[in-house]
Chains A and B, each alone.
Chain A
Amino acid sequence: MLKIEAILQPSKLDAVKDALLEAGIEGMTILEARGHGRQKGHTEFYRGREYTVDLLPKVKIELVVNDEMKEKTVQAIIGAARTGRIGDGKIFVSRVDDAIRIRNDERGETAL
């Protein structure tokens, strides 16, 4: 089982959610985050002084999928989120040891 974490532009969240549902993935966790990569922040004014805000609003989607679903999931996300500009985001993939359904104690891939 693989954990897929995608950090996205907030405006792309709806498109990515739709693309994932279409790809057959139903379970996901969505978090509001702040951060930046190479994208610069923006400037604001407070009492005549200019300052830089470089913690930009982002959205993070976390999914756990079967190993076979990896490429399909990644392509679904990229297809919906890519604009070609700096700030599109990143996807990280890592291994998951186990998954457990709380309702009935199912374990492993069937719990996904």
Chain B
Amino acid sequence: MAEAIFWTALAGIAYVYAGYPLLLLVWRRWGRRPVGKRPKEPSVSLVIAMRNERKNVQRKMQNCFELDYPAGKLQVIVSLDAPTDGTEALVREYAGKGVEVVYSPVHRGKAEALNSGVARATGEVVVFADARQRFEKDAVRELVANFADTSVGAVSGELVLLEEQTNAVGAYWRYEKRLRAMESDIHSVPGATGAIYAIRRELFAPLSPGTILDDVVIPMRIVLAGKRVIFDPAARAYEVTSQSTESEYERKARTLAGNYQLFAQMPELLAPWRNPIFVQMVSHKLGRLLVPYCLAALFLSNLFLLQGSYVVVLVGQLLWYTLAGAGWLVSTRYSESPI
């Protein structure tokens, strides 16, 4: 029994972190679907949901004005979710400069703020952005060029973390981006980057109140509607961040809570006959939710297997968790800079 649990757990972990990337590598080699990207200039609505972003408003608005896209074809909408730090007054200063403000006096959450923003949108394409990240000048142009391919329903850009190269989280994030690039080449990525992604407006349906991962729910609805969601690293947004392991933990916990919500709200994602990227969804999203339980099962079952090479594995696990404990101590001591 312990042996069966041990090997099942080990196989699960190995598949999620190594087997799946290898599968994508082979799959992409034989099943690559190039995107027919061509320059085009459809009307675009840039929707930015904000709550308390006082310190980011001016920089973000300036960044919107500096985008390399015809002003007559770019509608900028800021959807305010009952800010309390003076964000509203700052945003309204830009109302006379072409920025449209949608204001909710009641705090309703990001999903509802996005719904209100998109309801105001008139562009053929809707680009979603967050307040803190800076778009590359040609980011919108790069995003919309992908819509020349009629099979594409949404495009995720790349968020570049300017300090990511310096820490373990950065390595993890780069691994994630490689997975996304391969998934995109094959069919679609199971989710976009919230800081920079674009969709055909006709494919948008209002989000349920309390939706945590708008940047997964919106793209996955588009995949279920039969369109592709691709990743285009040529469309870039930048964020300067200290990116500590602890802040990444907070983000990860929020994202994974959103994944649980996603499967509860959209069970059809787990139906292979409904979801064209079922394998990617199960391997990338569901797999990540199950790995911690596999790790626990691996460790506990190993305690009942104290003979032969199992002992070596147990020692390896004990060493790994001891090092993790030491890492926690180091991280606590040097909390501002992980590596």
State yes or no: do A and B come from one complex: no
